[in-house]
């Protein structure tokens, strides 16, 4: 009895001391594998590499998901290790700068900042090419136009009376969009719908009027005509009007189209003076008059301005009171094994309208938004140097219709 009276209180006292510590440990839930992974990841990030400032150029992704691409998926991706063209190169190598506007050329080279690409700048009021950086690339037989082809699709849709800036399409069960937002955000289903609605023949008709498949310049040595397919490609007309499948577009051709949009319907031959004497005797040459296209150009302008203000070309914006109109394009050109970043644009400062076309080549780093940043930097440099104030140039009164000019637009053509 004495033993029990001594032992039992001792055991109870021991449990009272040990219980509060050991009991919760015994009953606590084990952390899940996901919680352990998150905890370990956070610890590694904090200890090894603190977050730094975002890079100036963001790498373009070829996936649409938000999660990082696993190494397994990268190995199985058709583009894994595909691109062979470098992201950076000397874009000025081999260029002949005689006759160029050197202030604009310096701005273009500075804006490229070592990227592997070409920049073409022209005066929308005359068709004169003011600079062509990376002439070898700019004069090649073209690259897939990616989403810049949506300019053609928009013009064709408006001219046929089927679409306008405010026409809303139902793209999916919950998605509706008008042309302005579709251009600004480069929505593929919207412009694939235009292609399927109009068909190859009508799209081809407007493509040829806008100069696809033919040289844009007047006697520019080495210029190639690009490619406009003579029939609908295997992937379908919708892919042609949204991604530019089967089409080769040159920077000069896109410059010509945007020159026509910017000035309201006069398609000039692009001319590239090669000496000071040629600059002084320069006379604009009218290639084709598309005055009836003015309505279509007015309809697509809000979408092109929206691309810079809130869409895919936001990196081009620099001044609210000096609007920039533009269109991005991003895709992979399999024949050249390069990723492409396009941006075609023009600004309006008083009577001056400067067209800037940027084409970047390389790997995942390259994209249309990155190209828009190059154009925006060029405009910014010219604005800060007061280029437009010191070089006023209203529309030329002495433009002539070239002897080689193509017929003007008419409904019967």
Q: What is the 3-state secondary structure (H, E, C) of 202-267?
A: HHHHHHHHCCCCCCCECCCCCCCCCECCCCCCCCCHHHHHHCCCCCEECHHHHHHHHHHHHHCCEE
> How far apart (Å, rounded) are the C-alpha atoms in residues 153 and 206?
9
> How far apart (Å, rounded) are the C-alpha atoms in residues 229 and 237?
11
> How far apart (Å, rounded) are the C-alpha atoms in residues 183 and 110?
29
Q: Please report whether residue 44 resides in a domain.
A: no
Question: Any idea which residue has 């210029």 for tokens?
Answer: 223
Q: Please report whether residue 48 resides in a domain.
A: no
- In which region does residue 247 sit, left (phi positive, over 0), alpha (psi from -120 to 50) or beta (all else)? beta
Q: Which domain holds residue 258?
A: 102-401
> How far apart (Å, rounded) are the C-alpha atoms in residues 218 and 53?
47
Q: Please report whether residue 408 resides in a domain.
A: no
Q: Do 69 and 63 meet the contact criterion of CB atoms below 8 Å apart? A: yes
Q: Please report whether residue 25 resides in a domain.
A: no
**The CA-based dihedral angle spanning residues 371, 374, 375, 377, taken in that order and rounded to the nearest 10 degrees:** 150
pLDDT of residue 53: 36
Q: Do 269 and 402 meet the contact criterion of CB atoms below 8 Å apart? A: yes
Q: Please report whether residue 13 resides in a domain.
A: no
What does residue 289 show for φ and ψ, rounded to 5 degrees?
Answer: -100, 125
Question: Any idea which residue has 């994209």 for tokens?
Answer: 367
Per-residue pLDDT of the chain (413 residues; tens, 9 = 90+): 555 566 666 666 666 655 554 444 444 455 555 444 444 433 333 333 333 333 344 433 333 333 333 444 444 445 555 788 999 999 999 999 999 999 999 999 999 999 999 999 999 999 999 999 999 999 999 999 999 999 999 999 999 999 999 999 999 999 999 999 999 999 999 999 999 999 999 999 999 999 999 999 999 999 999 999 999 999 999 999 999 999 999 999 999 999 999 999 999 999 999 999 999 999 999 999 999 999 999 999 999 999 999 999 999 998 878 899 999 999 998 777 899 999 999 999 888 899 999 999 999 899 999 999 999 999 999 999 999 887 766 555 566 766 556 554 443 33
CATH number at residue 168: 3.40.710.10
> How far apart (Å, rounded) are the C-alpha atoms in residues 266 and 376?
25
> How far apart (Å, rounded) are the C-alpha atoms in residues 184 and 189?
14
Question: Any idea which residue has 């235009």 for tokens?
Answer: 194
What is the number of domains present in the chain? 1
Of all helices (H) and strands (E), which one includes residue 342? Answer: strand 338-347
pLDDT of residue 117: 98
Chain center to CA of 191? 16
pLDDT of residue 18: 54
pTM of the predicted structure, to 2 decimals: 0.79
pLDDT of residue 71: 42
């Amino acid at each position: 009895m004495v033993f029990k009276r001594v032992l039992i209180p001792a055991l109870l006292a021991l449990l009272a001391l040990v219980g509060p510590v050991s009991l919760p440990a015994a009953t606590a839930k084990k952390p899940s594998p996901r919680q352990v992974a998150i905890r370990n990841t956070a610890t590694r990030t904090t200890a090894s590499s603190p977050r730094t400032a975002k890079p100036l150029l963001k790498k373009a992704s070829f996936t649409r998901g938000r999660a990082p691409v696993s190494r397994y998926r990268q190995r199985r991706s058709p583009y894994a290790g595909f691109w062979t063209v470098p992201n950076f190169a000397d874009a000025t190598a081999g260029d002949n700068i005689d006759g160029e506007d050197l202030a604009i050329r310096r701005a273009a080279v500075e804006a490229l900042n070592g990227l592997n690409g070409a920049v073409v700048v022209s005066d929308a009021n005359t068709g004169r090419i003011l600079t062509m950086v990376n002439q070898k690339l700019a004069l090649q037989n073209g690259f897939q136009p990616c989403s810049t082809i949506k300019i053609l699709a928009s013009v064709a849709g408006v001219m046929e009376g089927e679409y306008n800036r405010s026409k809303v399409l139902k793209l999916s069960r919950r998605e509706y969009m008008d042309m302005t937002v579709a251009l600004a955000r480069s929505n593929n289903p919207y412009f694939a719908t235009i292609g399927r609605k109009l068909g190859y023949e009508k799209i081809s008709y407007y493509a040829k009027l806008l100069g696809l498949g033919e040289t844009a310049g007047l006697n520019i040595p080495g210029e190639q005509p690009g490619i406009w397919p003579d029939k609908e490609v295997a992937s379908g007309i919708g892919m042609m009007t949204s991604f530019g499948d089967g089409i080769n577009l040159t920077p000069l051709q896109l410059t010509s189209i945007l020159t026509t949009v910017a000035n309201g319907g006069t398609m000039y031959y692009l001319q590239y003076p090669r000496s000071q004497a040629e600059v002084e005797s320069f006379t604009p040459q009218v290639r084709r008059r598309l005055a009836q296209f003015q309505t279509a150009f007015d309809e697509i302008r809000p979408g092109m301005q929206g691309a810079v203000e809130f869409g895919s070309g936001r990196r081009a914006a620099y001044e609210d009171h000096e609007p920039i109109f533009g269109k991005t394009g991003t895709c992979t050109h399999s024949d050249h094994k390069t990723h492409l970043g396009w941006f075609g644009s023009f600004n309006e400062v008083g009577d001056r309208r400067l067209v800037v076309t940027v084409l970047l080549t390389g790997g995942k780093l390259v994209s249309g938004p990155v190209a828009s940043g190059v154009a925006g930097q060029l405009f910014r440099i010219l604005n800060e140097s007061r280029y437009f104030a010191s070089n006023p140039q209203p529309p030329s009164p002495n433009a002539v219709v070239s002897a080689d000019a193509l017929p003007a637009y008419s409904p019967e053509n």
